[in-house]
Structure formats: structure tokens, C-alpha cells
Structure 1
């Protein structure tokens, strides 16, 4: 695959395997850092404001651990990508389920209904200090999800580690996804078009 990063370096500030996979699919090479912030300490009423605030907090936490002076001196810039995502269901913000019971409650609610993902991308140029972020929203509509499928998803366990317990790329739930208004990569945690756009803008 073509390496797009000959003119700059990238740090992906995330421990998410799916974000890592998506960024690699986009043709970028990158190094990884995780922010390790207390996400529950940051609260906003609107999902768009929350995901942007969390992406900012993640970037700030990572920047505190980096020798910024070294990055300023380097010939090519280094771009830091941070992001966050929540699920919105009936106007309520949902983050990662606290338990299997909560994941089950979430999934039963989606059955025959609809939810949305709201995700942010923030790019910081460590050489120039430029920083810009935006958010993306995707609407997801479901057919009825059988109880046995919900139990299978909970048993597999992956739904416990994603916002709202929503994992529409899982083969078990795919047949019950009626419609997706937006892009699958955004639902998975890193919208490709928005990420590309912000990376380009950070280099201007």
C-alpha cells in the first residue's frame, strides 16, 4: 500500500484496534500513544461537545508526555490524531457499557429502533501548534434483533468495550442492521474523509 506520510509523521493517540486498522487502511504509517485520561471526569450535555472535549483532553494529556521542543526543530511536522465517540439513543448519551446487564439493555433498545454515533477527530501539528477538530454523526436503523443474537454478542464480549455496546461490523448483528445513514468507518470510530481533511489542513 502507498505510504502517504513521506512529508510528515503521525502519532495516533488511541488504544483502539479499530482506529488503528482504519488509519492503516488509509495508507498511513504511524506510531501509537494512549492518553489514559479519566473520561468520566469530563461531562457535557451535548454529544458533539462531549466528544470534542474528550478528544482535546486526550491530545493535552499526550502532549504533556512529549518533548515538544524536539518536534518543533524537526524538518518534517508530526501530526497527532485524537478522537472520541459516543452513541446517542433517544436523546441520551451512551458510553461504554458498565456491565453485561447494561450492554444487554442497550442492545434490546436498539432492536427495531434506531441509534446514532457521534464521533470526533482532532489533529494537532506538533511543529506549528496548529490544532483543529470536527465531529461526524451517523444514523443507524435496526430490524428486530433476536434475544439469542444479543446473548451471543454479550458472550463474545466485544460489545462491552465500545460506545453504547454498538458494534455493527460484527457478523452476528449485520443481518439486523436495516440502514446506515453515513459511513461505516465513522461508526467504527474514525471517519476516513474527515481524518484526511483535517490532516491536510494541519499541514497548511
Structure 2
């Protein structure tokens, strides 16, 4: 089972109004992720995105300032601006943080439509300020690690069996790149 990836594939292009207040906000999506993907139960009031690290719900979570210690599935928070922003880390690639987010366009806030629907988007590292992490995120990531390791072995065997196939080599390289982009070992 690949909890985060299954969650991501089911949600892209959709929208979530978790609490029925203010439309389809980024915090709604974070709450939905915590409840359904992490299985931590219903999430109450968190406030604006920039205030979430101080919410009682996150009292026992690891809080990491900066963005140099990211893993797939981490909740990442921008604490600057009027409301801030919150999203889920998908991967690190090409010098960018790719996140799964809702209401990220900065226009037509809360509509959940177009660029405000759930999407994958890349941002520079300095766009976000901190990371929220609980043990369940790391557990989910270990399931993904096992999947990747099996896939790597399978693709390495295929390349050994047919070393002239550029398609097989490309698939192996793509899997290795993905493995490097999600970082499943704690610093």
C-alpha cells in the first residue's frame, strides 16, 4: 500500500471544504489529509494557515524551522503574510519543493476552482518557513520506500536482461530520481 501516493492521485483536480467555513481553503485540505491519509481522526479548528503550528492539535508534533529537512508527506507552512499557506510536501526536485496544495493561486480565494483546486506546484525553498511532522508521516514513507526498493530491483533486473533498451534504462533512472526526491531517511 502507498498511502500518500494513493491519496494524491485521488485528490488532484478536486476540492475539499473540510469544515464548511470560508470555502475551499488550504487549511481544509491539510485537515482532510491529516484525517484521511494519516488516519489521525477529525481535526478541529486550526485558525489561519500561518497560525497552525501553534494550534493545540500540533502540540506533540515535531516542528522544524526552515526547509532543509523535508520528507514526502510533511506538512509545510508559510507563516508570513496575512493568512499564510499550508501544503503537503510531495518531493524535492530541480531545486524546488513540490507540494500538494489547495487554494494556492492567491486569486479567487476559497473557490476551489481552476488554480485553486488541489494541485501539484513547485516553489522555491524560501517560500515556506517550517515543517510539521508526526510519526505517521514517517511510517507512510517507509511503505513508499519498500515499494521503491522493489521497483528498483525489478528495473535493474530488466536492464541487465536487455542492456540495449533505452526505455528500460530511462525507467530505471526515473525511479532512482523519484527515490532521491522524496528522502525517506531522517536527518
Band of TM-score, shorter chain: under 0.3
**What's the TM-score once normalised by structure 1's chain length?**
0.22
**What's the TM-score once normalised by structure 2's chain length?**
0.23
